Chains A and B, each alone.
Chain A
Amino acid sequence: MYRLEPQAREWIDRSTVLRFSFEGAPCEGYAGDTLSSALAASHPYLARSFKYHRPRGVLSCANQDSNALFQVDGIPNVRGDVTLLRQGMHVTAVNTFGGLARDRARVLDRFARFLPVGFYYKAFHSKRWFPRWERMFRAITGLGAVTLSAERRTTPKRYGFCDVLVIGGGPSGLAAALAAAEAGARVTVVDEAHRLGGTSALNDAERQALDSLVRDVQASARIAVLSATAAVGCYADRWVALAEPRRLTKMRARAVVFATGVIEQPAVFRNNDLPGVLLASGAWRLAERYGIAPGRHLVMVAANMEAYAVCRDLAARGVNIAAIVDLRAASEAGPGAAGAGAAGAGADEAGCASLGIPILKGFAPYEAFAGADGRVCALAVAPIDDVGRGGAAAESLRRIECDAVLMSVGFAAAGQLLLQAGAGSEFSAGLQQFVPLDLPAGLLAAGRVNGVYEFGARLADGRRAGAQAAAHAGFGAGSAASIERSTRRPSHPFPVFAHPAGKNFVDFDEDLQVKDLENAAQEGFDSSELLKRYSTVGMGPSQGKHSHMNALRILARVRRVPVEELGLTTFRPMYHPVPLKLLAGRGFNVERRTPLDARHGALGAVWMSAGNWRRAEYYAVEGETREQSIEAEVEAVRTKVGLIDVSTLGKIELYGPQAGAFLDRVYAGSYASLQVGMTRYGLMLDESGVIIDDGVIARLGAERFYFTTTTGGSATVFRELSRLNALWGLDCALVNVTGHRAAFNFAGPASREILQSLADVDLGEASFPYLAAREGSIAGVRTRVLRVGFVGELGYEIHVPASAAARVWQALSEAGRPHALRPFGVEAQRVLRLEKGHLIVGQDTDGLTDPFEAGARWAVSMKKPFFVGQRSLKILESRGPRQKLTGIEVLDATRAPKECHLVIDRGAIAGRVTSVARSRTLGKTIGLAMLAPPLAEPGREIRIRAEGGEMLAARVVAVPFYDPGNLRQRAGRAA
Chain B
Amino acid sequence: MPCLDVADTGARMGLKGPRASDWLAAQGVAPPARANTWSRSPAGRADVLIARLGASEFFLEAPDDAALAALAAGLAAEPAGVYPVLREDRAFRLSGPGVHDVLAQVCNVDFAGLDLEARPVIMTLMIGVAVIAVPDGRPEARQYRFWCDPTFGPSLGETLGAIIVECGGTITGESR
Could you list which residues of chain A lie within 8 angstroms of chain B, going by C-beta atoms?
Answer: 154, 156-161, 250, 252, 586, 588-595, 597, 613, 647, 653, 655-656, 701, 704, 731, 733, 735, 737-741, 801-803
- Contact: B105 with A802, CB < 8 Å? no
Bound: A653/B166 CA distance, A: 41
- Contact: A740 with B149, CB < 8 Å? yes
- B146 interfacial by beta-carbon distance below 8 Å: no
In B94-129, which residues have CB < 8 Å from any A CB? Answer: 101, 104-108, 110, 112-113, 127-129
- Contact: A161 with B151, CB < 8 Å? no
Chain A residues, Cβ within 8 Å of B18: 731
- Contact: A161 with B112, CB < 8 Å? yes
The 22 listed contacts between A and B (C-beta, < 8 Å) are A156-B105, A157-B105, A159-B105, A159-B108, A161-B110, A161-B112, A161-B113, A590-B129, A591-B154, A591-B155, A613-B151, A647-B151, A733-B17, A733-B83, A735-B85, A735-B86, A738-B151, A739-B88, A740-B88, A740-B149, A802-B151, A803-B88
User: Which of B107, B151, B159 is in CB contact (< 8 Å) with A739?
Assistant: B151
- B16 interfacial by beta-carbon distance below 8 Å: yes
Chain B residues, Cβ within 8 Å of A160: 104
Bound: A738/B85 CA distance, A: 12
Chain A residues, Cβ within 8 Å of B17: 655-656, 733
Could you list which residues of chain B lie within 8 angstroms of chain A, going by C-beta atoms?
Answer: 16-18, 78, 83-89, 101, 104-108, 110, 112-113, 127-129, 149-152, 154-156, 159, 163, 166, 176
Chain A residues, Cβ within 8 Å of B166: 154, 156
User: Which of A250, A590, A647, A741 is in CB contact (< 8 Å) with B86?
Assistant: A741
- Contact: A592 with B16, CB < 8 Å? no
Other A-B contacts than A590-B152, A738-B151, 13 sampled, CB-CB below 8 A, are A154-B166, A156-B166, A158-B101, A159-B107, A161-B113, A586-B105, A590-B128, A595-B151, A597-B154, A704-B78, A739-B152, A740-B87, A802-B151
Most buried by B among A250, A590, A737: A590
Bound: A250/B106 CA distance, A: 12
Bound: A159/B113 CA distance, A: 13
Name the distance in Å between A854's Cβ and chain B's nearest Cβ. Answer: 30
- Contact: B88 with A590, CB < 8 Å? no
Of all chain A residues, which has the CB nearest B149?
A739
- Contact: B85 with A159, CB < 8 Å? no
- Contact: A588 with B128, CB < 8 Å? yes
- Contact: B151 with A593, CB < 8 Å? yes
Name the distance in Å between B12's Cβ and chain A's nearest Cβ. Answer: 10
- Contact: A802 with B150, CB < 8 Å? yes
Name the distance in Å between A607's Cβ and chain B's nearest Cβ. Answer: 13
Bound: A876/B85 CA distance, A: 40
Of all chain A residues, which has the CB nearest B159?
A588
Bound: A594/B153 CA distance, A: 10
Name the distance in Å between B57's Cβ and chain A's nearest Cβ. Answer: 9
- Contact: A802 with B104, CB < 8 Å? no
Of all chain B residues, which has the CB nearest A656?
B83
Bound: A530/B44 CA distance, A: 76
Chain A residues, Cβ within 8 Å of B149: 592, 738-740
Name the distance in Å between A808's Cβ and chain B's nearest Cβ. Answer: 14
Most buried by A among B17, B83, B87: B83
- Contact: A735 with B16, CB < 8 Å? yes
Name the distance in Å between A861's Cβ and chain B's nearest Cβ. Answer: 27
- Contact: B83 with A593, CB < 8 Å? no
Bound: A588/B163 CA distance, A: 11
Name the distance in Å between B6's Cβ and chain A's nearest Cβ. Answer: 15
Chain A residues, Cβ within 8 Å of B155: 589-593
Chain B residues, Cβ within 8 Å of A156: 105, 163, 166
- Contact: B127 with A588, CB < 8 Å? yes
- Contact: B127 with A801, CB < 8 Å? no
Bound: A156/B85 CA distance, A: 36
Most buried by A among B107, B108, B112: B108
- Contact: A252 with B83, CB < 8 Å? no
Bound: A731/B78 CA distance, A: 15
Of all chain A residues, which has the CB nearest B102?
A158
Bound: A593/B101 CA distance, A: 28
Name the distance in Å between A175's Cβ and chain B's nearest Cβ. Answer: 26
Chain B residues, Cβ within 8 Å of A741: 86, 88
Bound: A591/B151 CA distance, A: 8
Bound: A181/B176 CA distance, A: 48
Bound: A590/B151 CA distance, A: 10
- Nearest first, the 8 A-B pairs at minimum CB distance are A739-B149, A739-B151, A655-B83, A161-B110, A802-B88, A740-B88, A158-B104, A592-B151
Most buried by A among B86, B105, B110, B113: B86
Chain A residues, Cβ within 8 Å of B88: 739-741, 801-803
The answer to whether residues A739 and B150 also contact, given A655-B17, A801-B86 and a CB cut-off of 8 A, is yes
User: Which of A252, A590, A595, A802 is in CB contact (< 8 Å) with B108?
Assistant: A252
Of all chain B residues, which has the CB nearest A735?
B85
Bound: A516/B166 CA distance, A: 52
Of all chain B residues, which has the CB nearest A588?
B127
Chain B residues, Cβ within 8 Å of A613: 151
Of all chain B residues, which has the CB nearest A598?
B154
User: Which of A161, A592, A704 is in CB contact (< 8 Å) with B152?
Assistant: A592
User: Which of A250, A595, A731 is in CB contact (< 8 Å) with B150?
Assistant: A595
Of all chain B residues, which has the CB nearest A592?
B151
Bound: A70/B75 CA distance, A: 68
Bound: A738/B159 CA distance, A: 22
Bound: A613/B17 CA distance, A: 31
Name the distance in Å between A580's Cβ and chain B's nearest Cβ. Answer: 19
Chain B residues, Cβ within 8 Å of A586: 105, 163
Chain A residues, Cβ within 8 Å of B128: 588, 590
Of all chain B residues, which has the CB nearest A737?
B86
Chain A residues, Cβ within 8 Å of B112: 161
Of all chain B residues, which has the CB nearest A594?
B151
- Contact: B16 with A733, CB < 8 Å? yes
User: Which of A159, A592, A595, A735 is in CB contact (< 8 Å) with B83?
Assistant: A735
User: Which of B84, B85, B108 is in CB contact (< 8 Å) with A250?
Assistant: B108
- Contact: A740 with B127, CB < 8 Å? no
- Contact: A590 with B104, CB < 8 Å? no
Bound: A741/B85 CA distance, A: 11
Bound: A159/B106 CA distance, A: 8
Name the distance in Å between B54's Cβ and chain A's nearest Cβ. Answer: 11
Name the distance in Å between B81's Cβ and chain A's nearest Cβ. Answer: 8
Bound: A63/B110 CA distance, A: 32
Chain A residues, Cβ within 8 Å of B159: 588, 590
Bound: A739/B86 CA distance, A: 10
Bound: A803/B78 CA distance, A: 23
- Contact: A740 with B104, CB < 8 Å? no
User: Which of B105, B150, B154, B176 is in CB contact (< 8 Å) with A740?
Assistant: B150
Chain A residues, Cβ within 8 Å of B150: 595, 739-740, 802-803
Chain A residues, Cβ within 8 Å of B163: 156, 586
Of all chain A residues, which has the CB nearest B166?
A154
Bound: A597/B175 CA distance, A: 14
Chain A residues, Cβ within 8 Å of B154: 591, 593, 597
Bound: A590/B157 CA distance, A: 10
Name the distance in Å between B28's Cβ and chain A's nearest Cβ. Answer: 24
Chain A residues, Cβ within 8 Å of B86: 735, 737, 740-741, 801
Bound: A653/B78 CA distance, A: 14
Bound: A154/B167 CA distance, A: 12
Bound: A652/B152 CA distance, A: 18
Of all chain A residues, which has the CB nearest B128?
A590
Of all chain A residues, which has the CB nearest B129?
A590
Chain A residues, Cβ within 8 Å of B127: 588, 590
Bound: A553/B158 CA distance, A: 57
Bound: A160/B101 CA distance, A: 9
Chain B residues, Cβ within 8 Å of A737: 85-86
Bound: A158/B87 CA distance, A: 30
The answer to whether residues A158 and B129 also contact, given A593-B151, A739-B88, A801-B88 and a CB cut-off of 8 A, is no
Bound: A704/B83 CA distance, A: 10
Chain A residues, Cβ within 8 Å of B108: 159, 250, 252
Bound: A737/B83 CA distance, A: 13
Bound: A739/B153 CA distance, A: 10
Chain A residues, Cβ within 8 Å of B107: 159
